Structure 1
Amino acid sequence: MPAPNTITVDKLSRLVALPGSPVVIDVRSDPKEAIPGSLIRNADDVGLRPLLDASAFVVVDARGEGPAAAAAAFLRSEGLAAETLEGGFATWAEAGTPTVSFAHLPPRHADGRTWWVTRSRPKVDRIACPWLIRRFVDPEARFMFAAPAEVSAVARQHQAEPFDVSDDGVFWSHRGERCTFDVMVEAFGLSDHEPLARLAAIVRGADTDRLDVAPEAAGLLAISLGLSRQHSEDHVQLEAGMAIYDALYRWCRDAQGEKHNWSSHQPAKRTEASA
């Protein structure tokens, strides 16, 4: 049984990367990898800069000793629900649960966020990639959209990371038959996370017009094109698209075995013996 105000690795692993789950705050110094979706904070700065709009938090340090407990106590004094991860990041890593690698993460700006820029009028990859970044890599990431000819200039002006563009030297772009989403899943060390691998196949099929890659690719393409027609403002479309990818990820994670037809959800018929 976990100590008061702590959460186990097993329980937290079922919550991360899902909308509405507790915000994970990592207070280790300059971590090279982290729990998916973690906010990276100096232990002394927790609470000093506005956090994501959430009512529940899990604070993580190296081994669940000291810094995390102090930060969680401070958050609770602010009226927020805050726990620490039992055993800290070391226990999380030892359990073999997914971690995000920061080896290819762009430098953070003064506001603590990573900044990204891509082409306007997104369809598939340019919605899927921001979803992946916000749910698994940097929940506070800033995304900018610009006309294709202006992406490079915006990137230079704002020191933003370009993605899903064909300019020479851009790291985050298509490679062979793989789309940008595939590249990000691999570069952030998430290739072994089976739900993301399933989702990547769907995104790849929809984004590269190879609808035979996954049966769900055609549906994602149709929804993506519909969203693009429905929303004229790119950031509004991004927010609408987040819900689509949240649902697809959840299906990839634990709903593939569920069937739905006229009879699958009907109440069981009572027999004479049970009457």
Structure 2
Amino acid sequence: MPAYNAIAASKLDRLVGTPAAPLIIDLRDQPREIIPGSIPRSPDNALDWADPVDQPILLVDADGAGPAAAVAALLRSDGRAAEILDGGFEAWRSAGGITVCLDHLPPRHDDGGTWWVTRARPKIDRIACPWLIRRFVDPQARFLYVSPGDVLSVAVSQGAEPFDLSDDRVFWSHRDGRCTFDLMIEAFGLDTHEPLTRLAAIVRGADTDTLDIAPEAAGLLAISLGLSRSFSDDHAQLEAGMAVYDALYRWSRDAQGEKHDWTSHQPARARS
């Protein structure tokens, strides 16, 4: 039974990667591996970094015996919804929870998030990658959409990480028939999470015109092209696209065995 104002790793496992996930704050010193969606923060200035937060906060320390309980109590005294992960990061690891490797994460800016830049008028990869980053890697990430010829100069001037650009100087790009989404899943250590690798095949099929890779790829292509024609603002399109990938991820994780037809959800007839 988790302690007071604590949740178990098994409960958190159902929330990570979804819009229902709390804001996970990792209080460990310079972690290189995190629970998906975690933001590293110091326990010393909790009221400062929590000031703009308007969602439930989950605090994670090394083993549940560190500063998480004290910081949660402080935040609750300030009227904020704050819980701790029972047993801390070690409990998450022991339970087999997936983790994100931060070796390839770009530096954070003064606003606390990483900044990324790519080509304007996104279709598939340039929506899928921001979804992956915000849901699993950095919920505070900022994305800049610019003209293709400006990506590298904006990357330098704004300290933003370029992605999905056909240029040998860009790390995050297509390789060997795989798209940028594939590379991000691998580089962030998420390639052992089957729902994401299943989703990656759909994204790859839609993004590289190899629709036979997954039956769902043609549907994603159609939805993506429709979204690109429904929005003139790239950031509005990204927000709409987030819901698409949220749905695909939940289907990939939870609804593989479910079928649907005219009678599949009809109530059973009463016996005479």
Q: TM-score range by the shorter chain?
A: over 0.9
- Offset at residue 259 of structure 1 (A): 1.1
Larger CA deviation: 175-184 vs 45-54? 45-54
- Partners of 2:143 and 2:72 lie apart in 1 by 30
Superposition map of 1:148-167 within 5 A? 148-167=148-167
User: Taking structure 1 as reference, are residues 86 and 137 closer, same or farther at Cα in structure 2, changes over 3 Å only?
Assistant: same
- Partners of 1:52 and 1:266 lie apart in 2 by 46
Deviations, residues 228-261 of structure 1 (Å, cap 9, x unaligned): 0000111110001000000000000001111111
- Offset at residue 133 of structure 1 (A): 0.2
Q: What's the C-alpha RMSD, in Å, of the aligned pairs?
A: 1.1
Deviations, residues 180-203 of structure 1 (Å, cap 9, x unaligned): 000000000000001001000000
Give the residue type in structure 2 aligned to 1:270: A
Match of 1:46 in 2: 46
User: Taking structure 1 as reference, are residues 54 and 264 closer, same or farther at Cα in structure 2, changes over 3 Å only?
Assistant: farther
Matched, 1:246 2:246: yes
- Partners of 1:222 and 1:124 lie apart in 2 by 10
Larger CA deviation: 40-49 vs 137-146? 40-49
Deviations, residues 29-72 of structure 1 (Å, cap 9, x unaligned): 10001000112111112231356754322100001113111111
Which runs of 5 or more residues in structure 2 are unaligned?
A: none
Match of 1:28 in 2: 28
Match of 1:209 in 2: 209
Match of 1:125 in 2: 125
User: Taking structure 1 as reference, are residues 51 and 125 closer, same or farther at Cα in structure 2, changes over 3 Å only?
Assistant: farther
Deviations, residues 105-132 of structure 1 (Å, cap 9, x unaligned): 1111122210000000000000000000
- Partners of 1:53 and 1:235 lie apart in 2 by 21
Match of 2:88 in 1: 88
- Partners of 1:110 and 1:156 lie apart in 2 by 16
- Partners of 1:21 and 1:181 lie apart in 2 by 22
Match of 1:266 in 2: 266
User: Taking structure 1 as reference, are residues 50 and 3 closer, same or farther at Cα in structure 2, changes over 3 Å only?
Assistant: closer
Larger CA deviation: 175-184 vs 75-84? 75-84
Deviations, residues 54-98 of structure 1 (Å, cap 9, x unaligned): 432210000111311111112211222211111100111122210
| SS of the residue 2:84 aligns to | strand
Contact 1:36 1:137 in 2 (8 A): yes
Match of 2:220 in 1: 220
Give the residue type in structure 2 aligned to 1:40: P
Match of 1:99 in 2: 99
- Offset at residue 167 of structure 1 (A): 1.4
Larger CA deviation: 89-98 vs 221-230? 89-98
User: Taking structure 1 as reference, are residues 14 and 52 closer, same or farther at Cα in structure 2, changes over 3 Å only?
Assistant: farther
Identity of aligned residues (%): 66
TM-score of the superposed pair, with normalisation by structure 1? 0.96
| SS of the residue 1:71 aligns to | helix
Give the residue type in structure 1 aligned to 2:86: E
Larger CA deviation: 38-47 vs 217-226? 38-47
| SS of the residue 1:59 aligns to | strand
- Partners of 2:190 and 2:131 lie apart in 1 by 14
Runs of 4+ with deviation above 2 angstroms: 49-55
Contact 1:27 1:67 in 2 (8 A): yes
